[in-house]
């Protein structure tokens, strides 16, 4: 063995592989230990160091995350287990157990990474406002707050008056104008004013988002026959906003395509608030939604019109990667959409995604043969078989 003068430290570092940073950064949802052996995740390393330095046993309530709290907890435990046991002792089994239990019992009914309105301090609100150094960032904070409080109402302001009904209807949360609302204490007043400002910012954000897909979706769909294939518009590429084959998520839900009665959303990753914002933008508030997902940033949903089911793959190395939706209209017809994007903002923002939006499929008479309405590719048969494979009563 060569004596490099490093003593016993040489064997530990001579063949150490330099890992590159994961391309997904803070949006990484992987929980496979092999992935963390191959790629660096600096934000998780920093968080783990913060755990060790402060002795925290759970994620801070005001921590802004891009994936679910449970996912981050599992990732932290994976990284910690991959650390060498010699030298620094990064965590004990007792601490690791407490963190996991806390993550499972934490109430994540609000959007991940955003503080609950009842516990948000004025300093936190001030800190968030100071961190918004761009108009777009400010708008995103506003729409994020709207996503988190999508069952709440704004308190004042003419720009909010048309949006005072619940974003999804039927909320069991107290509204600011209800008699059950708390008195206007200084803290309550600050919270109300913040909600009003965030609602105003959200309206500006929605108006800006609508510009990303210009033109009638009906005309676009007719012009796209017979393939009906689209690409998503790119926020930073203005020319894609006007292209005949560019669409956005809210276009798929547009009322001009049919009088929506209910919808089925099937996807891998879901940012619940962002998804609700798409229904809001498309003027489809309160419509029943069945949501099958693999990963979502919110648990304990309190929306009476949303039925959410977490799909558990039979294999520990599997994941629920389907990305599609079925739109059911009041006249009995349906429309199927298959696309390549997760239901997360980043996938629909500056990434090009493929979208196939089917023609309208009218309802068949009850006494029709099961093969009626079939396509040359047997798509109807395959779709029914696929949905049946879930074995879910919700379907």
Distance of alpha carbon 284 from alpha carbon 168, whole angstroms:
9
Instruction: Flag whether 323 is marked binding.
Output: yes
Burial of 203 (0-12, 13-18, 19+ CB in 10 A): buried
Cβ of 372: how many Cβ atoms within 10 Å?
A: 10
Distance of alpha carbon 395 from alpha carbon 386, whole angstroms:
11
- 18 DSSP 8-state letter: P
Distance of alpha carbon 141 from alpha carbon 128, whole angstroms:
8
Dihedral of the CA atoms 145, 146, 148, 150 (nearest 10)? 160
- Name the active-site residue from 50, 189, 321, 381: 321
Burial of 2 (0-12, 13-18, 19+ CB in 10 A): exposed
Cβ of 89: how many Cβ atoms within 10 Å?
A: 9
Backbone angles phi, psi at 218, to 5 degrees: -65, -45
Closest CA to 327 of 286, 283, 359, 296: 359
Q: Is 50 a catalytic residue?
A: no
Write out the binding residues.
323
Residues belonging to the active site: 321
Write out the binding residues for substrate.
323
């Amino acid at each position: 063995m060569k004596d490099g003068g490093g003593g016993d430290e040489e064997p530990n570092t001579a063949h150490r592989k330099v890992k590159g940073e994961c391309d997904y950064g803070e949006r990484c949802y992987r929980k496979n230990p092999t992935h963390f052996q191959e790629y660096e995740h600096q934000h998780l390393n920093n968080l783990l160091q913060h755990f060790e330095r402060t002795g925290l046993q759970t994620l801070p309530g005001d921590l802004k995350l891009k994936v679910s709290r449970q996912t981050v907890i599992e990732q932290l435990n994976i990284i910690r287990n991959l650390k060498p046991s010699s030298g620094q002792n990064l965590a004990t089994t007792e601490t690791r157990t407490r963190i996991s239990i806390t993550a499972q019992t934490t109430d994540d009914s609000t959007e991940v990474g955003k503080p609950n309105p009842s516990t948000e301090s004025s300093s936190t609100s001030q800190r968030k406002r100071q961190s918004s150094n761009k108009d777009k960032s400010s708008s995103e904070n506003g729409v994020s707050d709207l996503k988190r409080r999508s069952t709440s109402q704004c308190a004042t302001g003419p720009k909010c008056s048309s949006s005072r009904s619940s974003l999804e209807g039927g909320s069991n949360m107290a509204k600011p104008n209800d008699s059950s609302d708390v008195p206007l204490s200084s803290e309550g007043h600050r919270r109300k004013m913040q909600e009003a400002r965030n609602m105003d910012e959200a309206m500006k954000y929605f108006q800006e988002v609508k510009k990303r897909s210009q033109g009638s979706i009906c005309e676009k769909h007719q012009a796209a026959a017979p393939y009906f294939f689209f690409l998503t518009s790119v926020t930073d590429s203005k020319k894609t906003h006007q292209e005949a084959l560019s669409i956005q998520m809210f276009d798929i839900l547009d009322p001009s395509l049919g009088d929506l009665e209910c919808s089925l959303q099937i996807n891998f990753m879901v940012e619940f608030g962002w998804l609700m914002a798409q229904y809001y933008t498309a003027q489809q508030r309160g419509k029943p939604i069945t949501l099958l997902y693999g990963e979502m940033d919110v648990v304990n949903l309190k929306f009476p019109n949303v039925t959410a089911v977490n799909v558990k793959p039979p294999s520990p190395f599997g994941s629920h990667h389907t990305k599609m939706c079925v739109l059911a209209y009041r006249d009995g017809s349906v429309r199927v959409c298959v696309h390549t994007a997760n239901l997360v903002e980043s996938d629909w923002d500056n990434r090009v995604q493929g979208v196939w939006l089917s023609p309208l499929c009218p309802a068949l008479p009850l006494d029709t043969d099961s093969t009626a309405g079939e396509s040359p590719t047997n798509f109807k048969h395959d779709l029914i078989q696929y949905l049946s494979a879930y074995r879910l009563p919700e379907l």
